[in-house]
Amino acid sequence: MPQPPRPELTLPVPFLKEPARLPWPFDWPLPTKLLQRGTSISRVLRRNVAGLTPQQVRQALDQFARLNPGPAAGTFIPVEVAGVPVFEGRFEGVDERGILLLIHGGGFAFGSARSHRALGMHLAQLTGRRLWIPEYRLAPEHPFPAGLEDVRNVYEEALMFNGDVVVVGDSAGGNLAAGTVQHALATGWAKPSSLLLLSPWLDLAPESESNRQDRHDLSVFDSEDMITYMGHYLGEADPLDPAASPLRGPWSGFPPTYLEASVDEYLWPDTAQARDLLKRAGVEHSLRTEEKALHGWQLFPDFIPEARRSLEAMADFIHRVDAGESVA
């Protein structure tokens, strides 16, 4: 029996003559038990069989990222911003509104502009912005606060280049993004027009709520991994320092903030606590959740349906903030 054609999602982009058409060839609703078994096996293979170092994980992810390049249009080239290597994405014929500053995740020890290229390029195209993805220094070679300093420097340059800056961070990148906003507010810098935090890792303390609950059924990492990578990043630094754990710092004065996480993932408690802090601080914010989604699903908008839903929601949030509409 012939299969019906898959629907093609069309997203309106006010900066382009034609709507952006995103070709999504796959739609993978994997059974929960299969996901649980797969994540468990991956942890055993990575830690107990292969014993992969952070450097080896970096190399593997960068090779895998070649299969996920994002939209064919546009340029994606290395540049230098404030002394930091940055990959810049641009689209011809777009009247750029400002900078989309995407801070990649990866446990502070891996991940790169290449691994986050697809998400960043799609979101930049849909919102009419120039994409910057900093290649901030990674642990354990460059422990805290090296990566945070790099992100702060790029953010400050983005403000001088074009005052309209949207900051997006996922996982460990969400930590650096939130920490940069707190630093900006403390030092009198302008804050971003909006902030998007995707499954952010905001509390690095071993006794954090995420570590206490240790919800690893649908996660490729568990508390052992989290504490190990926290050690790679912090070294001898105090995990209770708000610069290392933004959940323990101030959240008042934040820009309109988008939060997104899977209710079943390891870092859901960090997201829930951030929501509570924003609510108490009176900050306009929006929380979007997914069920049974693996951490980092947003990176694959060309392949999985939950990622395409996230891309739509993020673009809509940014457009609403740009238009001065409420996002609460």
- Pairwise CA distance, residues 138 & 88, whole Å: 19
Catalytic residue chosen out of the listed positions 135, 149, 265, 290: 265
Catalytic: 208?
Answer: no
Is 138 within 8 Å of 173 (Cβ atoms)? no
Catalytic: 319?
Answer: no
Phi, psi of 290 (to 5 degrees): -125, 160
Catalytic residue chosen out of the listed positions 115, 171, 199, 219: 171
Beta strands in 37-117 (DSSP E): 75-81, 84-90, 99-103
Query: What size, in residues, is the chain?
Result: 328
Alpha-helical segments (H) within 128-222 = 146-161, 172-187, 209-213
Catalytic: 193?
Answer: no
Burial of residue 236 (CB within 10 Å: 0-12, 13-18, 19+) is: exposed
Catalytic residue chosen out of the listed positions 116, 183, 285, 295: 295
Residue whose pair of structure tokens reads 């953010």 in the numeric block: 155
Sequence letter at residue 219: S
Residues labelled catalytic:
171, 265, 295
